[in-house]
Structure 1
Amino acid sequence: MAKLVCVLFLVAAVACANAVPNRIVGGNPTVIENYPSIVQVESRTGIIWGQSCAASILNTRFVVSAAHCFAGILNTRNRRIRAGTSNRASGGVVVSINRIVNHPTYGSNQMDGDISVIQLASALVYNDRIQQVPIVPQGFELPDNLPVVHSGWGATSQGGLASAILRDVTIYTINHDVCASRYASLLFPRRVTQNMICAGILDVGGKDACQGDSGGPLYYDGILVGIVSWGRGCADPVYPGVSTKVASYTDWIVQTVSSL
């Protein structure tokens, strides 16, 4: 796995070096210093703001998340991000959103293309709680049974309440064909495309992302390899959680950040 390369967004340049719809189910409490690139996405209903999704910091002016977190009637004035805090909906720094760019294929093939680049209205300031994330290179294929990590503030059980503090959980990548065939067998089949990663504890369950974790990171060794997208419930033993495969969109992310 030493061949993994990190893509660092430094203004519009890309530097390469050796890389060192959810609350977490079956995980443990953690602190933002362990995951300083994760931020909360908050939505406003009336005058009330609440955490609805998560995102990852690309650089001081951009974050990446799931497109389904930024679809629908809520515009940039009703979305913001909160960075640098372990606590849900409190602490850290709050930054408004300037522009949202959902992937152009999102919505045309079920959940394919579920990725969004978000431009912030003002720059983040890096510290031990706020840092950019290295992302996987375009086209990189993760092997099966690789330990990967979710972090977030989502529900700790299907239909449960959101977590008040950041949590994480280690799960494993699952063979794409196995995952795709299981979702295809549903009464209302769901499509698992080559632009998606399945991860969980197959035929055991109990560990997963859940409601409120959407848009948040799936890491391998601190590298962003996936973005929480969808699944059948949470921590289901038969149907693993599905994340957007970042390696299918790395070039698009770079191009989008560079063009704004």
Structure 2
Amino acid sequence: MHFTLWVAGLFCLVGLVSSRVASSDEDNRQPSISIVGGIPAVSGEFRALGAMRFSNGRLNCGGTLITSVHVLTAAHCLFGMSTTTISSLNMIFITLTVSGGTGSIARNVKRAILHENYDDNSFENDIAVMILSSPITTIAFTRLPTDSAVLTTRLPTTRLPTTRPTTRPTTRPTTRPTTRPTTRPTTRPTTRPTTKSPCSCTCPPATRKQKVQAKTEALDSRAFSSYANASAVIAGWGATSSGGSGSTVLLKTNVTVQSNSVCSSQYGSEFFPVEMLCASAPGKDTCQGDSGGPLYVNGIQVGITSWGFGCADPRFAGVYTRVTTYVGWIANTLANNPS
């Protein structure tokens, strides 16, 4: 009798632990940092892809050179940093290793412009431009999507009460503040999990966010392909497994851009198709450390590595900032901040 009760109790305990492990798997929402399932890149293959490093040489994120002095990256790579910390960062290009080497080019970061509507909870508008201390004239810039109609459209400096797709709420809950704090809290809300996976950059914790509702804001009208089912290339120096260490060399791999319906079926209301796209392939993904790096389709950067649940989890594709939505914002940012 006692033995039977003991065995039953043991099975209950195992079941409880298993359910918690499965649950924590889905809660492991984290910024992307490295290439899983990748192969070493060839020297000079990604000349415009740079490693964003702290003053001690440690990798923070990636970024791509889009003019002689401007680097495109993810806003979450820089969010919460002081101007002093940002100006202590440096970018290194034409290198297969984070430490650089013969022929590599390094520049300090002068300042950064984050998207004014970046949301650190939902990762919406996860895009930023950094300005380098001096020009780089020997590297061909990363090619971005172009469209004359979009490039001449100016984004408003304030949010407008335009409507989003009918499948998403047009108003935000009244319990949430209508404006974001001007300064970042020194502590995270107590409603977010206290445990987190290691993160090698100064980015939001590797925890799944609370559900948030859509913001009403004006975005560029798009005249671009959704890139669904297109073959894409990703590259970076990040971790080669979830929670693992970063790669010693630049890695690359091929993934397929998924349709918005697939992304939404995996992430539900966490995925915003106007501002994001997702891509995946069996056993291949970006991971901790690849944030801010590119997703290329036919040599055009159409995505910025942003976030995902785990790394190469077959249930969840990696999520990228949809560059086509922001070509107008990029053009205006460059024009207003030439150097």
Q: Does 2:94 correspond to 1:84? A: yes
1:34 and 1:59 map into 2 onto residues whose CA distance is: 18
| 2:297 aligned partner | 220
| 1:135 aligned partner | 144
Cα offsets for 1:9-65 (capped at 9, x unmatched): xxxxxxxxxxxx212111110124111110011124xxx221110001111111100
1:148 and 1:108 map into 2 onto residues whose CA distance is: 26
1:199 and 1:146 map into 2 onto residues whose CA distance is: 9
| 1:119 aligned partner | 131
Q: Does 2:48 correspond to 1:40? A: no
Q: Is the 8 A contact 1:112 1:193 kept in 2?
A: no
From 316, 325, 328, the equivalent of 1:239 is 316
| 1:176 aligned partner | 260
Equivalent position SS for 1:249: helix
From 271, 275, 280, the equivalent of 1:195 is 275
1:95–1:143 CA distance, 2 compared to 1 (3 A): closer
Equivalent position SS for 1:85: coil
The TM-score with structure 1 as length reference comes to 0.83
Equivalent position SS for 1:142: coil
| 1:64 aligned partner | 72
The TM-score with structure 2 as length reference comes to 0.64
Residue type at the aligned position of 2:279? A
| 1:210 aligned partner | 287
- 1:70-109 alignment, distance < 5 Å: 70-74=78-82, 75-91=85-101, 92-107=104-119
1:194 and 1:235 map into 2 onto residues whose CA distance is: 23
Q: CA deviation at 1:108?
A: 6.7
Shift >6 Å, 4+ stretches: none
Q: Is the 8 A contact 1:23 1:153 kept in 2?
A: yes
Cα offsets for 1:56-90 (capped at 9, x unmatched): 11111111000001111353233111111111222
| Identity fraction in percent | 35
Structure 1: gaps spanning 5 or more residues: 1-20
| 2:233 aligned partner | 149
Greater radius of gyration (CA): 2
Please provide the CA RMSD for this pair: 1.5
Aligned length: 227
Q: CA deviation at 1:181?
A: 2.6
Equivalent position SS for 1:252: helix
2:306 and 2:73 map into 1 onto residues whose CA distance is: 9
| 1:6 aligned partner | none
Equivalent position SS for 1:178: helix
Higher strand residue share: 1
Residue type at the aligned position of 1:174? Q
Equivalent position SS for 2:264: helix
Q: Is the 8 A contact 1:179 1:192 kept in 2?
A: no
2:57 and 2:252 map into 1 onto residues whose CA distance is: 24
